[in-house]
Amino acid sequence: ARSDRTARWGGTVAGTYCLVYAIAGAVIGTAAKVMYPNLASADAAFATIVKDELPVGVRGLVLAAALAAVMSTSSGALIACATVANNDIWSR
């Protein structure tokens, strides 16, 4: 970071983001448990909430956001693997 202040600010923002993300996941999971007590699998909670509770247009937006997150994570993992392979295998 450019300064201690910038580092603290970045840490605070990142921590807040993680906290909001965790709370959102907990709220969705709790809502699914209350609304669908006989849900067969906890892994299906988010998909069930999206399918049953959101309007069609918002469902598409949520699906697109989920796919974008998967693609972004996959891209980062592939770049990391390629970097490790390049630095540890081919450069020797």
Q: Whole-number mean pLDDT of the chain?
A: 93
User: With pLDDT > 70 as the criterion, what percentage of the chain qualifies?
Assistant: 99
User: How far does CA 32 lie from the centroid of its chain?
Assistant: 18
Contact 77, 64 (CB under 8 A): no
Q: What share of the chain is helix, strand, coil (3-state, %, to 5)?
A: 85, 0, 15
Cβ contacts of 31 within 8 Å, gap of 6 or more = 49
Domain boundaries, the chain: 1-53, 55-92
Say if residue 11's pLDDT is above 90. Answer: yes
pLDDT, average across residues 37-58? 92
> pTM for this structure?
0.64
- Rounded CA separation 32/37 (Å): 7
pLDDT band at 89 (very low <50, low <70, confident <90, very high): confident
Say if residue 20's pLDDT is above 90. Answer: yes
